[in-house]
Chains A and B, each alone.
Chain A
Amino acid sequence: MQYKDYYKTLGVARNASQDEIKRAYRRLARKFHPDVSKEANAEARFKEVNEANEVLHDPEKRAAYDALGSNWRAGQDFRPPPGAAGNRNFHFDPNETADFSDFFASVFGRAFRSDNRETRRRRGQDQSIKIVIDLEDAYRGATRQLKLDVQETAADGSRTTRSRTLNVRIPEGVTQGRQIRLAGQGAAGLNGGPSGDLYLEIEIAPHRHFTPDGKDILLRLPIAPWEAALGASVTVPTLGGSVSLKIPAGSQSGQKMRLKGRGLPGNPPGDTLVVLEIVAPPANTEAAREAYRLMAERLNFNPRAELGV
């Protein structure tokens, strides 16, 4: 197993005071807290920071860790020296330390190994993972295959990692940030206690045309100047297929039209919000240039009238 440099994790010197350690821990805990942080590996970093703090904030555990010597480097292959700390009774809350590293366990043991009270049943931890789905899957529902590495702790404190593959049904109409709770699919319990729950947090991948806003879907719809000016019936793509939309005469860019119930399914379902965008045809032929010249001549139009120029 690999040696962990807890001082490096917290970014403090080996001779840092307890106050310095507390300050460093607080700052990093805020920075990497999974509910707060947008850092890519926030959850793993938060766990490392907590493990380091669990050892360094307590002078007794810190002394036991320091007793391993200062010549180790982070990541170096580590074998616990016999009797280093194994006989001591350190106190930990197993809820806090359950997913700490093997290095931690080899130095400090698992709390429930040395503490009789911890033979009672204990519910497994909840776990949460983020899954990215396409907008089409959010609309229709989908089945996703999830691969999970599950750590299992036996009664004697030894641990094994087992790979699980779950086929999970994502119901239709899920939205960005929604959580799906899978009861009893989290970490296994201890001493016959029930398993924790697994929470899936939905993230919707960006789509070429559609932008979700909760259950509503935003769509920029390009239209020709004459369609806007004269009115037209145009075909609009939606997640459920194409629909026909009547553009009223005299429409302008930026105007919004609502296709009721054409958003993500639900009770009530969302809408598709169409934002009109007038696109000028390119003047790349003589005929096109002639048409523009004709408009310039016939239409008495100053688009900058509101700017007072």
Chain B
Amino acid sequence: MAQIESGIEGIVLDEAVTVSLTELTQLCGANGRAIELMVIEGVLRPQGGQPGDWRFSGEEVRRARRAVRLQHDLDLNLAGAALALDLLDELDRLRERLRALERQLGETRAPQ
């Protein structure tokens, strides 16, 4: 009989959560320089002026992790990963909007 591990609480990576540069490097397995390059490229937009003051939102943690994976797995350079990331985000938004619109039009019937 397997034991059930209870009471496990996670952190929702939303806008309410922010992490520092050091924390972000641990979360996405990239070094500080790689993160700085992503900020310069405009992939990530942290709050705060100097790298030491940077705060990244939970949404940016997700973007950073995705950018690191895309660069590594598909051998993309940073500009290519940035473009893919923007297009994927756009695709996610459009899919959600499409789903909402399809629901709104659900009752529309073809003319008889």
Contact = CB atoms under 8 A, between A and B. Distances in A.
A and B are interacting partners: yes
Interface of A: 26, 29-30, 33, 35-36, 46, 50, 126, 145, 163-169, 171, 173-183, 185, 197, 200, 206, 211, 213-214, 218, 220, 266-267, 275, 277
A165 B3 CA distance: 7
Contacts of B103: 211, 218, 220
Given A29-B73, A33-B73, A35-B88, A168 B12 contact: no
Interface in B36-91: 58, 61-62, 66, 69-70, 73-75, 84, 88
A218 B13 contact: no
Given A179-B62, A181-B10, A218-B100, A164 B2 contact: yes
Nearest to B3: A165
- Give the interface SS of chain A, mostly helix, strand, loop or mixed: mixed
Nearest to B67: A35
Nearest to A215: B14
A271 to B, nearest CB: 14
B74 A169 contact: no
Interface residues on B, range: 35 or more
B37 to A, nearest CB: 19
Given A29-B73, A218-B103, A145 B4 contact: yes
B8 A174 contact: no
B12 A36 contact: no
A185 B10 CA distance: 10
B97 to A, nearest CB: 7
B110 interface: no
Contacts of B88: 35-36
B11 A180 contact: yes
Contacts of A176: 96
Interface in B1-29: 2-14, 16, 27, 29
12 contacts: A33-B74, A35-B70, A35-B88, A145-B4, A164-B2, A169-B10, A173-B12, A180-B12, A183-B11, A213-B97, A266-B14, A275-B104
B13 A181 contact: yes
Q: Which 5 A-B pairs have the closest CB atoms?
A: A180-B10, A167-B6, A182-B10, A211-B103, A165-B4
A211 B99 contact: yes
Contacts of B75: 26
Contacts of A206: 99
A35 B13 contact: no
Nearest to B11: A181
Given A33-B74, A35-B66, A218-B100, A174 B12 contact: yes
B14 A178 contact: yes
Considering residues A29, A35, A168, which has the most beta carbons from chain B within 10 angstroms of its beta carbon?
A: A35
Contacts of B61: 181
Contact of B13 (A30, A50, A167, A180): A180
Contacts of A126: 29
A167 B7 contact: yes
B23 to A, nearest CB: 11
A249 to B, nearest CB: 24
Contacts of B7: 167, 169
A300 to B, nearest CB: 26
Given A26-B75, A33-B73, 5 more contacts: A29-B74, A50-B73, A145-B4, A180-B10, A275-B104
A223 B70 CA distance: 49
A158 B98 CA distance: 48
B104 A169 contact: no
